[in-house]
Structure 1
Amino acid sequence: MTSRPMHLAAHFPGVNNTTVWAEDAQTSPPPAGPGGRQIAFSSFTHLARTAERGLFDFFFLAEGLRLREHQGRIHDLDVVGRPESLTVLAALAATTERLGLAATVNATFNEPYELARRLATLDHLSAGRAAWNVVTSFDAFTGENFRRGGFLDRADRYTRAAEFVATARELWDAAAPDGAGQPVAHSGQHFRVEGRFGLPRSPQGHPVVIQAGDSPEGRQFAATAADVVFTRHGTLEAGRAFYADVKDRLPAHGRRPEDLKIMPGVTFVLGDTGAEAQENAMEIRRRQISPQNALYALEQIWGIDLSGHDPDGPLPEADPDVDSTFVQGRVKHGDPRQIAEKWRALSAEKGLSSRETVIEATGRQSFVGTPAAVAEQMISFVDQRAADGFILVPHLTPDGLDPFVDRVVPILQERGAFRTEYTGTTLRDHLGLPAPRPRTEAGRG
């Protein structure tokens, strides 16, 4: 049986507290001082070049507009320094040739003209490899770094994002080969733009638009505006349900199923045998969830100071404070009280300590096994339409992608599930996305 073609991307996992930095990294030693490997260009170049060696579609950078805090203190295990994505990718454009370059940029705290110009510039510099991961924010904590503060109601974040993307596309469409371009006159609920775009039409016309969001509003936004969806559904059943729901929304907007690629973020752990892979996966979890990190995970759920709690003892007896602002800058996934009850049940069932419960409950390894087994699992997800491909998040930074490229990619290629060479030059070529047709007249709001 011929497998469906698989799309692959690599995520640089440098903005979370579960990243394990390689002590024996093949890259140059980390620089001394604040930031270390997190802001070392060698870290970015190693992972990006590995992804390009593996013929991946694109390299993906997250964004952090404010560091997380515990009771007014910076999260100790958070990374020190979060580089601005487009700046890093502009530098990587000179060190890579075919790999797509995807930046996460917030649609709440930016303006369409300025960001459309920066993305088009990256598309020119990279000869058509730019992508924009659209994210939104409604919290006043992040907004304190910006003049407007937390002005945006939660219900308005997708309406602003949708208009933001539409306005950026009007600007890109108004560009002309000679740079003169058509005038733009956009007047909407959130933006008013009157002028001309200051760049020639970029190689892709529109940089690829990526969207991450699983809510009903996020799914609808993806169906109307995105080229790629970055989702977090990990099981085959959940992936198939999400895939069918989002793809079924496309015809109402004049789009075909192949016009939108669904790529969940996944992890992998390899071993020469299945048992060794499982042992490696558990060792990774132990390294990620140190005693101190376990307490931070508990504080995120309970919303109280647990600095005196014994991570090797039982879970906290107190109930979570659902109105707490003790932990700020993290996205909450679910009701803390329900999560605490699930963790207590898990702890009681298996006789686990606080730290062991966190390790068990927050396991993130998506595919665990031998290279052949991992390849088969991934092919099954794509063939059964739970995904069009995957955004790989290696646990070990910056060398964690190397084993996948060296040991799994060749198997995917042998199975006919993945390319053996780049056949195009732009990111749209890699993803099989149609080129947007330029407008013949100025965009209107």
Structure 2
Amino acid sequence: MSTSKKQVILGAYLGGVNHHTAWWHPEAGSQIDFDSFEHTARTAERGKFDFFFLAEGLALRERAGQVFDQDIIGRPDTFTVLASLAAVTEHLGLAGTINATFNEPYELARQFATLDQLSDGRAAWNVVTSFDEFTGRNFRRGGFLPHSERYVRAEEAVEAVRQLWDSWQEGDIVADRGSGKFLSRPDAGSFAYRGSQFDISGRFTVPRSPQGRPVLLQAGVSPQGRDFAAANADAIFSPYGSLPEAAEYYQDVKARAVAAGRRPEDLKILPSASFVVGDSEAEAREKYLAIRDEQVTGQTALILLEQLWNRDLSGYDPEGPLPDIDPDPEAPPFIQGRAFIHQDRFETARKLRAVSEAKKLTLRETVADQFERGPIVGTAAQVAEKIDTFVQSDGSDGFIIGSHLVPTGLDEFVDKVVPLLQDRGVLRADYTGSTLRDNLGLPIPANSVAVG
């Protein structure tokens, strides 16, 4: 029986527009200039991270019909950013969040296949879904997709995209030694897919990926979401950053992968996490509390609770108690464009009230205490130990690491924590593979298109 320790997978994310990002900090840089993306990606590659990750925002978020103040910076196009980063990195994976609801399989397959070719096999697609009319207005599809069909469309989109990626068989491209040109078989790139959401056929334009096909990422919390992710994804973004609930989720999703006919080690589980490092544990804790208080202002706390309560809570004092009224899930959405992560509004409100009462916290303090992303706080040695222990305890296979400070916040993690993880033997000293699948320890997938 092997006693070797699991290798820690590391992804880096750039915060973008949300309350966790300290855009007011004197050392903060732009969230849309290429220099910020380049600095974060180069820093991650210097730290031997597996990939760089971008979230996606298809619409500016709104509160009661008005755009959030912190959202007016906007979001640039994911593919343009990642393609640019392919030119300034050599080993780092490039993962983009692209919606399966508002994009067509041919376009999705072609864009990711192109990114994979340009980067020599480093592309990854984070598959997300959406059904809301608010986002759909930008695509002339407002309200067209019932909530129950979002995973139906996503599953068909993934199936169709995989067929397109695999439509070029091994050996489809051959060299004509006489002319020096490249020729392809007559049926290269031929595809046809028919389902309830798509009816497409034609000829794909991009050869098969250097890594077989781009890596698929997904997030699944609901039973339907977990089944979809376990059956289709190469890695899942876990919402759990603390044991034992993280370990329970880990075992559940891995078991679902086995039930779907897969090996458990071919599905990686990755929660997101921020970090705060200090010269002492007390200093780190002090820094963390100061950062958290700046992130969660009274206005921010009310907005986060308004999403849960689905009510206008502007009349409540952030330094007073939690709202004494119940959430209103049947009303039209008061907050638009934010991903809703709570499965049961009433139960979540009850838990918040219990925490507030037990810890004697104000409304703002309760939100700061309960809505954080599980920061890892301590000395560099303590942060490295916590990450290693979490992974070896099967809470995850690694972490997606971000910082409140864009773009230089990741530097401290790479300079102080990464060497300690390498000393523990759980993080590579250098890249050994040539593709993202190599670095993640994932096999090249079998071609889904039968070879004739």
Give the stretch that moved more between structures: 335-344 or 365-374. Answer: 335-344
Instruction: Indicate conservation of the 8 Å contact 2:242/2:374, yes or no.
Output: no
Match of 1:221 in 2: 228
Instruction: Indicate conservation of the 8 Å contact 2:25/2:405, yes or no.
Output: no
Instruction: Indicate conservation of the 8 Å contact 1:70/1:326, yes or no.
Output: yes
Match of 2:96 in 1: 103
Encode CA deviations 1:293-342: one digit per residue, 9 max, x unaligned: 12222322333333343322333333333333221122331333333333
Match of 1:408 in 2: 417
Give the stretch that moved more between structures: 179-188 or 225-234. Answer: 179-188
Match of 2:190 in 1: 183
**What secondary structure sits across from 1:127 in the alignment?**
coil
Match of 1:124 in 2: 117
Of 265, 271, 274, 1:264 maps to 271
With normalisation by structure 1, the TM-score equals 0.92
Question: Distance between the aligned counterparts of 1:143 and 1:291, measured in 2?
Answer: 31
Question: Distance between the aligned counterparts of 2:113 and 2:308, measured in 1?
Answer: 41
Question: Distance between the aligned counterparts of 2:446 and 2:304, measured in 1?
Answer: 48
Match of 2:180 in 1: none
Do structure 1's residue 328 and structure 2's residue 336 form an aligned pair? yes
Encode CA deviations 1:396-420: one digit per residue, 9 max, x unaligned: 2211111111111101100101100
Instruction: Indicate conservation of the 8 Å contact 2:355/2:366, yes or no.
Output: yes
Question: Distance between the aligned counterparts of 1:243 and 1:357, measured in 2?
Answer: 28
Shift of 1:46: 1.1
Shift of 1:440: 6.4
Match of 1:19 in 2: 21
Instruction: Indicate conservation of the 8 Å contact 1:185/1:442, yes or no.
Output: no
Amino acid at match of 1:317: D
**What secondary structure sits across from 1:39 in the alignment?**
coil
Do structure 1's residue 359 and structure 2's residue 361 form an aligned pair? no
Match of 1:247 in 2: 254
**What secondary structure sits across from 2:271 in the alignment?**
strand
Match of 1:399 in 2: 408
Question: Distance between the aligned counterparts of 1:199 and 1:343, measured in 2?
Answer: 51
Alignment of 1:150-229 (within 5 A): 150-175=143-168, 176-177=172-173, 181-229=188-236
Do structure 1's residue 114 and structure 2's residue 107 form an aligned pair? yes
Instruction: Indicate conservation of the 8 Å contact 2:241/2:374, yes or no.
Output: no
Shift of 1:25: 3.4
Question: Distance between the aligned counterparts of 1:216 and 1:340, measured in 2?
Answer: 22
Give the stretch that moved more between structures: 69-78 or 346-355. Answer: 346-355
Encode CA deviations 1:45-76: one digit per residue, 9 max, x unaligned: 11111100000000000011112111100112
Question: Distance between the aligned counterparts of 1:200 and 1:241, measured in 2?
Answer: 40
Instruction: Indicate conservation of the 8 Å contact 2:58/2:135, yes or no.
Output: yes
Shift of 1:22: 6.8
Shift of 1:189: 1.6
Amino acid at match of 1:329: G
Structure 1 unaligned residues grouped into runs of 5+: 31-36
Instruction: Indicate conservation of the 8 Å contact 2:133/2:141, yes or no.
Output: no
Question: Distance between the aligned counterparts of 2:208 and 2:90, measured in 1?
Answer: 20
Match of 1:230 in 2: 237
Encode CA deviations 1:135-188: one digit per residue, 9 max, x unaligned: 011112211221222211222111211111111111111124356614212111
Do structure 1's residue 425 and structure 2's residue 427 form an aligned pair? no
Do structure 1's residue 51 and structure 2's residue 44 form an aligned pair? yes
Q: 1:388 to 1:350 in 2, by over 3 A?
A: closer
How many residues are aligned here? 434
Q: 1:259 to 1:69 in 2, by over 3 A?
A: same
Match of 1:6 in 2: 8
**What secondary structure sits across from 1:403 in the alignment?**
helix
Q: 1:336 to 1:215 in 2, by over 3 A?
A: closer
Instruction: Indicate conservation of the 8 Å contact 2:272/2:373, yes or no.
Output: no
Question: Distance between the aligned counterparts of 1:106 and 1:366, measured in 2?
Answer: 28
Instruction: Indicate conservation of the 8 Å contact 1:174/1:441, yes or no.
Output: no
Shift of 1:442: 6.9
Encode CA deviations 1:374-427: one digit per residue, 9 max, x unaligned: 111111122121211111122222111111111111011001011000001210
Shift of 1:212: 1.0
Shift of 1:103: 0.3
**What secondary structure sits across from 1:264 in the alignment?**
strand
Match of 1:34 in 2: none
Question: Distance between the aligned counterparts of 2:326 and 2:224, measured in 1?
Answer: 31
Instruction: Indicate conservation of the 8 Å contact 1:10/1:393, yes or no.
Output: yes
Match of 1:141 in 2: 134
Match of 1:41 in 2: 34
